[in-house]
Amino acid sequence: MIAENIKSLHDRIAERCIKVNRNPAEIKIIAVSKNFGVDEILKANKEGIYDFGENKAQDFDSKFVQLGNKVTWHFIGHLQRNKVRFVAGCANYIHSVDSLQIAMEINKRAERLDKVQKILLQIKTSAEETKSGITDEAEIMDIVSQCSEFRNIELSGLMTIAPLTEDKKLIRNSFNNLSKLKDKLTSKGIDIKELSMGMTDDFEIAIEEGATMLRIGTAIFGERDY
Q: What is the dihedral of CA 35, 162, 53, 134, to 10 degrees?
A: -120
Coil, helix or strand at residue 92? coil
pLDDT higher than threshold 80 for residue 81: yes
Output the furthest CA–CA distance in the chain (Å, rounded).
46
Give yes or no for a contact between 85 and 122, defined as CB atoms under 8 angstroms apart. no
Give yes or no for a contact between 1 and 222, defined as CB atoms under 8 angstroms apart. yes
The pLDDT score that the predictor gives to residue 127 is 80
The pLDDT score that the predictor gives to residue 223 is 83
Concatenated DSSP letters of 25-88: GG-EEEEE-TT--HHHHHHHHHTT--EEEESSHHHHHHHHHHHGGGSEEEE-S---GGGHHHHT
Instruction: Report yes or no on 223 lying in a domain.
Output: no
Instruction: Report yes or no on 226 lying in a domain.
Output: no
pLDDT higher than threshold 90 for residue 132: no
Instruction: Report yes or no on 153 lying in a domain.
Output: yes
Tell me the CATH number at 6. Answer: 3.20.20.10
CA atoms of 165 and 125, how far apart (whole Å): 14
Can you give the residue range of the structural domain that contains 180?
Answer: 2-218
- The helix (run of H) or strand (run of E) holding residue 121 is strand 117-122
The pLDDT score that the predictor gives to residue 188 is 92
Instruction: Report yes or no on 170 lying in a domain.
Output: yes
pLDDT tens digit sequence for 64-73: 999 999 999 9
pLDDT tens digit sequence for 7-33: 999 999 999 999 999 999 999 999 999
Range name among 4-8, 16-20, 112-116, 125-129 with the lowest pLDDT average: 125-129
The pLDDT score that the predictor gives to residue 130 is 75
Give yes or no for a contact between 73 and 95, defined as CB atoms under 8 angstroms apart. no
What is the tally of structural domains in the chain?
A: 1
pLDDT higher than threshold 80 for residue 129: no
Q: What is the pTM of this model?
A: 0.96
pLDDT tens digit sequence for 34-80: 989 999 999 999 999 999 999 999 899 999 999 999 999 999 999 99
Give yes or no for a contact between 133 and 122, defined as CB atoms under 8 angstroms apart. yes
The pLDDT score that the predictor gives to residue 226 is 56
Instruction: Report yes or no on 120 lying in a domain.
Output: yes
Torsion sign (Cα): 82, 226, 54, 214:
negative
List the one residue out of 209, 116, 99 whose CA is nearest residue 154. 116
pLDDT tens digit sequence for 173-220: 999 999 999 999 999 999 999 999 999 999 999 999 999 999 999 999
Instruction: Report yes or no on 224 lying in a domain.
Output: no
pLDDT averaged over every residue in the chain: 95
List the one residue out of 212, 153, 215, 144 whose CA is nearest residue 184. 144
Give yes or no for a contact between 159 and 196, defined as CB atoms under 8 angstroms apart. yes
List the one residue out of 44, 70, 51 whose CA is nearest residue 212. 51
The pLDDT score that the predictor gives to residue 163 is 93
